Structure 1
């Protein structure tokens, strides 16, 4: 009789433990599910433009409707106006500011065309153009634009007028190129990758940076490269240019 009671107790205890374990497992699953839903994963890509809308972009210095930039398929295409009002520009910038990031963007330049990709832009009405504050990776037709012959630090992929690309990694005019720009002030490192080739690497401050700046057209510019946190932008340089797949990943 005692043996039967003992077996019954052990059986009850076993099922009790299983029920408790099952309940704990369910609670852990619910907690994990809530954690996934409520806590965003860090270092994810944020899409600035994917062909569907212009919600994350605006004209530099102008919060009104975007002009002369049109969505064509999955691309954002700039068509320069034929009768441009004096001192009017249509540079496009992100609505949000960024500090440390990886920016990926596809671009296609027209024959003989020129444009650029900026970061660190101050858009508060103090400056008239993004290039007065923001650094630029050059977008260019290396074969037919005169800037390509005016010093290699103005070729496609260059940190404009500061660091020349290690090679011409561009595709022929009319084909899409991919530029990936990494800016990390925590490590004092920046880089420009063109079509999978690292074409330029550069510091963001310090003696080496100061030397680069002193030997460039930007020497003495009050606002240039002064803002670690700023907007991302693409340039109206008066030529037809297309951009697509614009996305950014913020770095810790």
Structure 2
């Protein structure tokens, strides 16, 4: 990443931090007359219940203290009351830097699971003192996994203070959840499930016995549920919008546009064609799907491309694979080559790595899922993978300086710079070596590939940078 681009935002964040922390400190003196209510009386655990595991919770010096305990699963202290729309503020101190904790919001419990001890599930605001530094990110406990890893907002990774109390603000209003850590805006998720649920405090299970006895402290818990006074969320924070084919007001203000409306082929045409293909593609139930044929490139309906062209951009899309399927999202497609088969362009590979033979071709895994096809392998983790048949979130960001980043389900997996010496060396050693200035066009179309396998797309949106 070209760090020089982040100098100005870093100054802005620093200024915001001073302002917001001052505001948070001043608000600690507020009373119930301004709409805030204490969620913890500072003396007892009245109104709270422990579930899931056996880690103990106690009250010490007006803080709720959870103690990490070997041999027990994740433990939670949950409110006996459920909440819908709210603003929650609290302070958290987590001992050490080798584990994590979290705050559950609008969550639920399967009382029959976990040998009758119950299993909590629902959105969680992460507390992460490790080198990963994802504090303030949003995880879906025991259900969908990571919704908002902090690879999506790397500036916010610096806000957490180890071995100190950290101020957390959570706004859960309507479909939207926003988080702040020590006054710095961190995550924004739009999610239509779980309109209500309990609030919970987590003591994570531990595999390292050296962590046995470590503690996590929660204090100054307070909540607003009426006449909610929201805090400004500055422009430029990436939004994970889980509502298919829609834009939130915040996304519209940030300049995003839908490339697929969920109903029609408006804005798309066949590659090397003037109209949308008459066969090979299906639009149904909010998805656009390439239909299976013989597994060959562009042998049925052919690739489709956007009518518009783009240079620097932030492109998001969701895709769903079938078993053994192959497809791709290409960018900087100029359609100037007039080649047979799939049109030429840089490709975000979409592939069933386990079942499609292409995953074992190329070099070093550079034809696997989310890779820059035939050039750079994606550095994926197990947590970033979804099962075949589930929706995945892809993202491609091209900065004006030609730095390109691929994301898979919110995690950064590829980064390179178009036109650099390192990039040109990769091209010379690839299947694209005979294409002059491959992938270096000033602008180009976005392409969805027909590789003869059934693959579906939705929630395709773009912002010009």
Secondary structure of 2:359 counterpart: helix
Which residue is 2:396 aligned to? 181
- Contact kept? 1:158, 1:164, Cα under 8 Å: yes
Q: Does 1:170 align with 2:385?
A: yes
Normalising by structure 1, we get a TM-score of 0.76
4+ runs of 1 displaced by more than 4 Å?
A: 86-89
- Contact kept? 2:293, 2:300, Cα under 8 Å: no
Q: May I ask how many residue pairs the two structures share in their alignment? A: 208
CA RMSD of aligned residues (A): 2.3
1:147-162 matched pairs, under 5 angstroms? 147-150=358-361, 151-162=364-375
Secondary structure of 2:418 counterpart: coil
Which residue is 1:51 aligned to? 262
Q: Does 1:70 align with 2:308?
A: no
Which residue is 2:434 aligned to? 220
CA positional deviation for 1:127: 3.6
- Contact kept? 1:162, 1:216, Cα under 8 Å: yes
Q: Please list every run of 5 or more consecutive structure 2 residues that lacks an aligned counterpart in the other structure.
A: 1-251
Supply the distance in 2 between the matched residues of 1:148 and 1:127 (Cα, whole angstroms).
Answer: 24
Supply the distance in 2 between the matched residues of 1:216 and 1:128 (Cα, whole angstroms).
Answer: 18
Question: Could you say which structure has the higher strand fraction?
Answer: 2
Q: Please list every run of 5 or more consecutive structure 1 residues that lacks an aligned counterpart in the other structure.
A: 1-40
Structure with higher RCO (Cα < 8 A, 6+ apart): 1
CA positional deviation for 1:126: 3.2
1:95-244 matched pairs, under 5 angstroms? 95-123=307-335, 126-132=338-344, 134-150=345-361, 151-168=364-381, 169-184=384-399, 186-222=400-436, 224-244=438-458
- Contact kept? 1:61, 1:124, Cα under 8 Å: no
Normalising by structure 2, we get a TM-score of 0.42
CA positional deviation for 1:42: 7.6
- Contact kept? 2:332, 2:443, Cα under 8 Å: yes
Question: Could you say which structure has the higher helix fraction?
Answer: 1
Post-superposition Cα deviations, 1:58-87, rounded to whole Å, max 9, x if no partner, equal 1111113422211120111111347x9x96
Supply the distance in 2 between the matched residues of 1:238 and 1:101 (Cα, whole angstroms).
Answer: 28
- Contact kept? 1:118, 1:130, Cα under 8 Å: no
Post-superposition Cα deviations, 1:182-229, rounded to whole Å, max 9, x if no partner, equal 112x32300100001101001111211111112222112236314221
1:94 to 287, 291, 306: 306
Supply the distance in 2 between the matched residues of 1:72 and 1:88 (Cα, whole angstroms).
Answer: 18
Which residue is 1:247 aligned to? 461
- Contact kept? 1:138, 1:160, Cα under 8 Å: yes
Secondary structure of 2:309 counterpart: strand
- Contact kept? 1:43, 1:250, Cα under 8 Å: no
